[in-house]
Amino acid sequence: MTMLEHGGRLREAAACWGIPLADWLDLSTGIAPWAYPVPSLPTEVWQRLPEEGDGLEAAAQDYYGAHHLVVLPGSQAAIQRLPTLVPPGRVAVFMPTYAEHPAAWHAFGHKLVPWDQPADYAVLCNPNNPTGHCFSRDELLDKARKVRLLVVDEAFMDATPEASLIGEGQPDNVVVLRSLGKFFGLAGARVGFAVADSTLLTRLADALGPWPVAHPARWVARHALVDKDWQATQRWRLAAASKRLALLLRNAGLTWNNPCPPDEWFHYSRVAIGHVSLGTPTGTAFFQTVITPNAAEIHEQLARQGILVRCFEESLRFGLPEDEAAWQRLTQATTQCPA
């Protein structure tokens, strides 16, 4: 499969704009800027092959509230393999979405159709990437009743775990994908999970082959999943930072024509459902997205100042700054952007 464009391509940006790598503020990925503080790894973690029974599966089942799951080398592994485990058919994809989903299904002979058309399978991100659109549990269960398989990518769900489809009542024909990359800030560890019916998970595990996740990555993931205090702190600061980002963009004039008062705006941006109109702010606890016909112009203007955001056809996705210096830099840069 061809490598699609993603956020975080900082070396490419540095070469394009002639700005040293160390001078960039990278807000393009949606990854939490505060990573889980990884303890020092024991030497034997590097010397032994990974094996089940090390506590990772149990920690993940407790964290997600799941009965059955498979550990993945990042959720991308499941995105690419799930289309190979079912016969070719019609796949309803909620758009816009993370581009790897439709690309994988198309590559393996499936026909992509609009979300509201009859289909054999359905795929979506919840919360959606890049719009922040959130589906209710009832909406997802209704969709599951209409298809043979529903794939729900919950990469940005950890900040609001109460909205997850995982748990009691998850239908057997629903696969939920989770990842340690966004919430835990551990994208480089390449650890994810698929939560589904045990029969489908067995087939997925067979497709992955032996030792799909390295022992050090499993060790780090287990520690992160059981650290409840750190998780609570992370949820608090993500919510606070996302609210600050939403207000920063609004004050810069990048989210005009917003009908909500300032105190209600953040809540609206996180739970907005339906069509996104021009200039309407949307997002999650991890990012805010601005819908604007000036997306390319604003993207270039920010890049010339060493600030990388994710640019789509008519929208920009802003990740969270890490510290006060980064906040001030973004504030100054956005005040110069065209509305």
Mean pLDDT estimate for the chain: 88
Round to whole Å and give the CA distance between 131 and 134.
9
Least confident of 1-15, 115-129, 281-295, 299-313: 1-15
How far apart CA 54 and CA 47 sit, in angstroms, is 15
Alpha helices, DSSP H, located in 93-136? 100-107
* Residue from 308, 284, 240, 252 nearest 14 by CA: 308
Residue 285 has pLDDT above 60, yes or no: yes
Band the pLDDT of 1: cuts 50, 70, 90: very low
| Domain 43-226 class in CATH | alpha beta
* Tens of pLDDT, residues 15-64: 887 888 888 899 998 999 999 999 999 999 999 989 888 999 999 999 99
Q: What is the pLDDT of residues 262-283, one digit of tens each?
A: 333 333 333 332 333 333 447 8
pLDDT attached to residue 282: 75
Neighbours of 315 (CB within 10 A): 18
Query: Among 125-129, 174-178, 231-235, which stretch is predicted with the lowest mean pLDDT?
Result: 125-129
Residue 73: CB atoms within 10 Å: 17
Stretch 86-100: mean pLDDT: 94
pLDDT of 320 over the 70 cut = yes
- What is the arithmetic mean of pLDDT over 230-237? 98
Domain residue ranges of the chain, discontinuous segments joined by +: 10-35+229-334, 43-226
> Is this model's pTM higher than 0.85 or not?
yes
CB atoms under 10 Å from CB of 310, counted, come to 24
**H/E run at residue 178:** strand 174-179
What pLDDT is stored for residue 277 in this prediction? 37
Class of domain 10-35+229-334: alpha beta
Identical fold between 10-35+229-334 and 43-226: no
